[in-house]
Structure formats: C-alpha cells, structure tokens
Structure 1
Amino acid sequence: MANDRLRTAMLAAGLTVDSLAEALHRDPKTVERWIRQEQRQPHRTTRVELAKLLKVREVDLWPELGGSPRPAAVETELVHLYPSRSAITGAIWTELLTSVSTSMDVLVFSGAFLVEQYDLIPLIRKKATEGVRFRILVGDETSQAVKQRAIDEGTPGGLEGRIQLMRRYLSDVVGLEGVEVRTHSTVLYNSIYRFDDDLLVNGHAHGALAGQSPVLHLRRAPNGQIWNHYIKSFELTWKNANPEPEAEE
C-alpha cells in the first residue's frame, strides 16, 4: 500500500522525488520505495531529517510510530491536515482535479477560485465527455445565510457578488451530460470538495475567510467514519437545494 501521507507532504512542500533524494543524500529509487510501500521506513536519523524538510512530524508520515490508540480507520482516512486552504499548493489542487475519473462533488458558497485559478470549466467539459459525474452546490446569494456570512467575515456585499460570478461561470456547463448545479441556502459550516475517493473539508471559523481556515484531506477507507460523516452532510444539502436552470439559447 502506498504512503499517500508522504506523497502529499512532498507536494505540499514543493519537493519531487529527485529533489528530496538530493536533499537527503539518498538514491531516488530509495525515496520511491518509501512512497510505494507504506510499511517501508527510513532509518531514524533519516526520518528526523525528512520530517524536518517536510515540516511535519514523523508520526504524520508513519502513524504506527506513535503507538496511537486511535482506530485504524481514523488513521488511514486522514491524509494530511493543512493549517489553511491557502496552504494547499497549486500542484495539489491540479493533481486532485486532473485525476478525477468517476465523480467530483463541491459544496461551497462561491468557490470561484476553482474557475479563476484552476480552469474548472474546461476541465468539466473534458471530464464530462469521459463519463465523470459533477455535482456542484453554490450558495443562493439572496439567502439570509449568505448575507450573514458576508457580514461575519467582513465582506458585506462581496460574497454575494462572488456567488453571482460563480453561477455565471457555471451556466456554461449546466445541462451537459453528467453535470448538475444547484443552489443552497444552508448555514455553511464546511466547504467540501470531493475528488473520487479524496475529500477536502475546509472548516469555517466565525469572523475568518474560508481561505484562512484549516482543511482536512481525507481518503475513503473501509469502515471509515469521517468520510461518511461529511458526505452525509453533502447529500443532505444536495437533497434540499434548487437545480440551476439551463441558460436560454
């Protein structure tokens, strides 16, 4: 089983197999084996140096080192914890987006950064022709929940405008086979981004922008509880949301 924690931490640090191998004075093939085989660990001195380079703890890369009493499902579900959404590198977002092969679900108020920074609309067009299913939930800018959120984060009127912009962007793909867009008026406790079996959960803190708040990177695991917990939240919001009408010709 691959060590996805190590792979993700390397991406977050902007390091490749070759650059990490050079920094640790190790053969790139050795580093590749650490990634491909989760049970394979460097010697302790190398682990310490590696964790320092990646700015994580050893136990974040190899949970078994901590002798944690937590259930295995919890350990295997959590890939990485980011201190903020803005701490997730462009390389990670791009990898998650371009690797989607089955389904992508998004629950946000705006989420316009996905279009403006990562070219979401052309990606939806391309992936939809390959059979990928997209379900995208954006806020209803006229709802009280959105208006209050804008006030709380200190951007009255700004959030509403970003949502209108996102809905305009998405109007170009509404109606494509496998693409559904809905608006919701729920109090948004978390933004959710699902890429097949990977899930990013961006928690929201009162008075802070979403980009300033921590993000859990989860991966679906057998009998995993956290993944299902957040997916249920998405499904409930989806069920009560309003479908976006197709643009008139």
Structure 2
Amino acid sequence: MNPPLARALRGAGIDTIDVAARLGVDPKTVQRWMAGRMPYPRHRDALARLTGWSPHDLWPALPRPVEPATQRDEVMIVYPHRSAVPPDSWSRLFGQAQQEIDILAYSALFLAEDIEISSLLRSKAEAGVRVRIALGEPAGKHIADRGGEEHIGDGMSARIRTALIGLRPVVAAGAELRLHDTVLYNSIYRADDELLVNTQVHGHPASHAPVLHLRRRSAEGMATTYLDSFERVWATGRESKA
C-alpha cells in the first residue's frame, strides 16, 4: 500500500477508476500503484498533476536527482592531512592573491621556515596586497593548553617565537601582525576568495589533521563562515612588530 498516493487521491476526490480513465491505463494497474508499485515516470508526473502533490511527496523513496555543480559548490578538494597538500599549493595560493592574504594559526612555522613562501608574502605586502597574520600569543593560556594536548609542553610557544623571527621581513615589508590567545578550531590560510583550512584534532598536531581547499562562491557559504571566524580572532588580537 502507498499511503501518500492514497491520501493524495482521496484529497483530490479521485478514485482508481477516475485515475485509470484519465491516464489511459487499466484499473488493475492503478491498484498495483496503490499497493506500492512504482509507476513509470510519465505516469508519476501525471499523478502529480492530478493530485497537486510533488513526486517526492507521493513516493518518498524516489531517488533525488543529482544536481550539477553550481556556483554554490565551495569544496574544491579535501586532503587527509596537511602534509598531503602538495608543497606548491601554498605558493600557488598566495601567489594568486591580488587584494588580501590572511593567515590564522598558532605558529604557522612550516610557512615561516619556507624561504619561497616568506619571500612571496614579503613581495605581496610590498606590492600593496593586504597581508594579515594572526599567530598565537606565546605566553597565552590557550597556547599552553595546546602544548599540553600535543604533549610538547612549551614547544608550542617555542614554535611561535621561532615563526615570529622568520616573519620579521614580511612584517617589515608592510604585513600586519597580531597575536591572539583563543581556542583555535582551525588554521586558516586565505588568498582573496580561496582558502586552505587546516582543521584541528584534539591531541594531534595540525600537520596530522585534514585540510579543506575552499573557494568562496557566495556571502552565505562555508568559506564565508571561516572568513568571519578569522575576523573575530583578528579583532581580539594585539598588534605586534614580531
């Protein structure tokens, strides 16, 4: 029995004989539909028109059509961990920036120690691209907590201090630097409308956590949510000259 179809026909004041006559089928065929057999697509469409119900309301198990890629699709690729991101992806990301580069992390040491990346960030700042870098406050409570979670003690603070030294030329070229003491759920690396978002997993270093490569498609999407998160942390940070 197909209760949705039965309710829809009753609501429209139509019985099986009426349906058979209007669709040009045998009444037994309609009875089989009522018993649960799926009609052919043309008959499903006709029944939807007769009852005013949508096909998916009449047959809840009907497969949903696969929607083609649209402007709302934002996830370009998912990497199982940060070390799976091809090394040149970072330089491609920042190299394409024309307006903004944002970095939110605790240390981002892997970038600060990369001569190519630090030189690229410096040249972008010199060219007028707004470069904002938000790193963890070395003496912050949440940085100490993170070090404890990863069983590295003061190692997290040491990484941040090392990264700050490596980023001095970038800041000297015009990049803005702030230090924050927040619970960091994701590290965010943004170049205009593209982002690499390194998720955080309790007890594991960021390099072992998945990375999402996103492209902002709208003001309501996933990428915008992460960008809003960056702005919130940025607003709470204190300015620093590295």
2:203 to 203, 207, 216: 207
1:154 aligns with 2:144: no
**CA–CA distance in 2 between the matches of 1:225 and 1:239?**
22
Change (3 A) 1:137 1:232: same
**CA–CA distance in 2 between the matches of 1:79 and 1:173?**
29
What amino acid sits opposite 1:209 in the alignment?
A: P
Q: Is the 8 A contact 2:179 2:237 kept in 1?
A: yes
Alignment of 1:135-154 (within 5 A): 135-154=132-151
Alignment partner, residue 194 of structure 1:
190
Runs ≥4 in structure 1, deviation > 6 angstroms? none
Q: How far 1:117 moved relative to its partner?
A: 2.9
Change (3 A) 1:70 1:109: farther
Alignment partner, residue 235 of structure 1:
231
Root-mean-square deviation over aligned CA pairs = 2.1
Change (3 A) 1:81 1:68: farther
Q: Is the 8 A contact 2:76 2:213 kept in 1?
A: yes
TM-score by length of 2: 0.68
* Identity rate, percent: 36
1:108 to 101, 105, 109: 105
**CA–CA distance in 1 between the matches of 2:211 and 2:66?**
22
Q: How far 1:194 moved relative to its partner?
A: 0.1
Alignment of 1:1-249 (within 5 A): 67-68=65-66, 72=70, 74=72, 76-117=73-114, 119-177=116-174, 179-245=175-241
Tell which deviates more after alignment, 127-136 or 234-243. 127-136
What amino acid sits opposite 1:77 in the alignment?
A: E
**CA–CA distance in 1 between the matches of 2:68 and 2:227?**
22
Q: Is the 8 A contact 1:103 1:134 kept in 2?
A: yes
Report how many aligned residue pairs link the two structures: 179
Q: Is the 8 A contact 2:134 2:177 kept in 1?
A: yes
Q: Is the 8 A contact 1:73 1:223 kept in 2?
A: no
What amino acid sits opposite 2:95 in the alignment?
A: T
Q: Is the 8 A contact 2:189 2:196 kept in 1?
A: yes
What amino acid sits opposite 1:191 in the alignment?
A: S
What amino acid sits opposite 1:200 in the alignment?
A: L
TM-score by length of 1: 0.67
Structure 1 residues without counterparts, runs of 5 or longer: 1-65
**CA–CA distance in 1 between the matches of 2:240 and 2:185?**
22
SS at match of 2:114: helix
SS at match of 2:213: strand
Q: How far 1:124 moved relative to its partner?
A: 2.3
The higher radius of gyration belongs to 2
1:121-143 Cα offsets, whole Å, 9 max, x none, are: 32222112222110000000101
**CA–CA distance in 2 between the matches of 1:96 and 1:118?**
16
What amino acid sits opposite 2:241 in the alignment?
A: P
Structure 2 residues without counterparts, runs of 5 or longer: 1-63
